[in-house]
């Protein structure tokens, strides 16, 4: 498993992240087995959020940590806050009051004294960068959070927040897969009157690379916005043919090749592997051992239905 430097303290973390959106559905023993399997596969990074399972994901991680105190020290633990799940509707809240309260609640559920990284979960149109910076300062000063980052933000949003806080933002967690590539498409079709040439993200990949921010790819095996998994889907027959062939050549699963395609991008990259099955996680972890050739990368991109000018 390859590792990269991450956060304020340059922690060595795995390129493949254990995503825990559905961890709350497992039994305590199943969750413990999954975390232990992650370590065996070289994965030392956990990603969760206060809204996953309405807190159930964090609670399950906390139960495992309480039962196995030494396990917490082996993982880099990242959580997210800012999404408010009310009975009537879902909304976003980056107020200092909510951030501070959310972190305290997460720490209690996770049964730990600190988070290694906290992400703001999706953009809040009403965010006040100076207010967020105050919350970050308090959290860092009290030892509750070591590093900070964002998710699904464009360069302008990130820049406004970075200007206000003295802590270098470590990461931007965004949707990316070989079947969901708007951030890449625009780079190929600069100044062209095509749909793919429309820059919908403000140049996230280039900006994060310039700022040395880690890019964390979520939904790495999905197409569209939670529309489905492209592995084995007949709508992506050509893509699956290419993935299957390269996978056979490498002796890994097609899913591992799909994740390796993301990690091949020449920046500080991580990919969130969201599974609850240890054997599946082991397959996906192989992505951190594979480096696709340039030709293979382009072949996969084109097989997904994309075009080059």
Kindly state which CATH superfamily the domain 3-303 is placed in.
Answer: NADP-dependent oxidoreductase domain (3.20.20.100)
Q: What is the pLDDT of residues 207-249, one digit of tens each?
A: 999 999 999 999 999 999 889 999 999 999 999 999 999 999 9
Q: What is the pLDDT of residues 22-66, one digit of tens each?
A: 999 999 999 999 999 999 999 999 999 999 999 999 999 999 999
Contact between 38 and 18 (Cβ < 8 Å): yes
Q: What is the pLDDT of residues 108-161, one digit of tens each?
A: 999 999 999 999 999 999 999 999 999 999 999 999 999 999 999 999 999 999
Question: In the predicted model, is pLDDT for residue 178 greater than 90?
Answer: yes
Q: What is the mean pLDDT of residues 184-201?
A: 89
Q: Is 36 exposed, middle or buried (0-12, 13-18, 19+ CB in 10 A)?
A: middle
Contact between 271 and 287 (Cβ < 8 Å): yes
């Amino acid at each position: 498993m390859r590792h990269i430097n991450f956060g304020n303290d340059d922690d060595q973390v795995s390129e493949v992240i254990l995503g825990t959106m559905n961890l709350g559905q497992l039994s305590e023993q199943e969750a413990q087995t999954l975390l232990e399997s992650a370590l065996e596969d070289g994965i030392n990074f956990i990603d969760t959020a206060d809204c996953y399972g309405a807190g159930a994901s964090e609670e399950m991680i906390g139960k495992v940590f309480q039962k196995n105190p030494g396990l917490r020290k082996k993982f880099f633990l990242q959580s997210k806050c800012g999404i408010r799940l009310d009975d009537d509707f879902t909304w976003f809240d980056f107020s200092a009051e909510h951030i501070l309260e959310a972190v305290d609640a997460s720490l209690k559920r996770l049964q730990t004294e600190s988070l290694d990284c906290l992400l703001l979960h999706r953009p809040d149109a009403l965010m006040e960068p100076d207010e967020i910076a105050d919350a970050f300062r308090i959290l860092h000063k009290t030892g509750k959070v070591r590093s900070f980052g964002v998710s699904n933000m464009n360069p302008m949003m990130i820049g406004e927040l970075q200007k206000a806080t003295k802590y270098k933002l470590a990461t931007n967690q965004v949707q990316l897969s070989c079947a969901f590539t708007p951030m890449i498409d625009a780079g190929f079709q600069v100044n062209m009157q095509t749909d793919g040439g429309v820059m919908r993200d403000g140049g996230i990949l280039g900006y994060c690379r310039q700022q040395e921010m880690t890019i964390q790819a979520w939904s790495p095996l999905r197409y569209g916005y939670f529309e489905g998994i492209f592995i084995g889907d007949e709508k992506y027959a050509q893509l699956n043919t290419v993935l299957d062939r390269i996978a056979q050549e490498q002796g890994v699963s097609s899913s591992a090749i799909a994740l390796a395609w993301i990690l091949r991008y020449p920046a500080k990259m991580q990919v969130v592997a969201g599974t609850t099955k240890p054997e599946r996680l082991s397959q996906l972890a192989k992505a951190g051992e594979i480096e696709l050739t340039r030709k293979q990368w382009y072949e996969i991109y084109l097989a997904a239905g994309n075009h080059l000018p």
